[in-house]
Amino acid sequence: MRKSILLSFVIVLAGIATVTAEAVTVGKSVPVKLNEFNVLPAKQGARAGKVTFVVKNVGKVEHEFVVLKTIKPAGSLTSHGGEASEAGNVGELASVKPGEQKKLTLTLKAGHYSLLCNLPGHYKAGQFVDFYVR
Ligand SMILES: [Cu+2]
């Protein structure tokens, strides 16, 4: 009994590892969808160098797209008044209206990044994601 529980746990873990490995594919163009309240990149990572985020707002309200280079996990940024600290900001699209698609090309060094929308309350509502450049 115990063995079978342990075995199914290992199988679940193996499944998660596989999904993560596939999600961290590299590429120069990264499609990103914004909605209430998520930042959804098609890939969780990119190769260092020029990276173009193709950002589409598929939600019903205006959003923005901010790229921070920070060692802090995307969900653990210092926040004040419902907004996250933008320390490490390397670029942003200040306004992406519903249905609108905009491109942001940045030269990114290897490391951890946090992608977020920092309109009042949106970060707190969960509109952020971790991103890895290698
Ligand atoms: Cu937003």
Question: For 68-88, what is each residue's pLDDT tens digit?
Answer: 999 999 999 998 887 999 999
What range does the domain containing 49 cover? 25-133
Q: How confident is the model at residue 130 (pLDDT cuts 50, 70, 90)?
A: very high
Structural contact between residues 111 and 65, judged by C-beta atoms closer than 8 angstroms:
no
Q: Quick one: pLDDT at residue 107?
A: 97
Distance CA 86, CA 7 (A): 44
Q: Quick one: pLDDT at residue 2?
A: 52
User: How many structural domains are present in the chain?
Assistant: 1
Rounded to the nearest whole angstrom, what is the distance from the C-alpha of residue 116 to the centroid of ligand 1? 8
| Torsion sign, CA atoms 16, 17, 18, 21 | positive
Residue 6 lies in a domain: no
Rounded to the nearest whole angstrom, what is the distance from the C-alpha of residue 33 to the centroid of ligand 1? 11
Structural contact between residues 128 and 115, judged by C-beta atoms closer than 8 angstroms:
yes
CA distances (Å), origin 131, targets 38, 120, 125:
14, 22, 19
Q: Quick one: pLDDT at residue 81?
A: 81
CATH number, position 69: 2.60.40.420
Q: Which residue has the higher pLDDT, 14 or 64?
A: 64
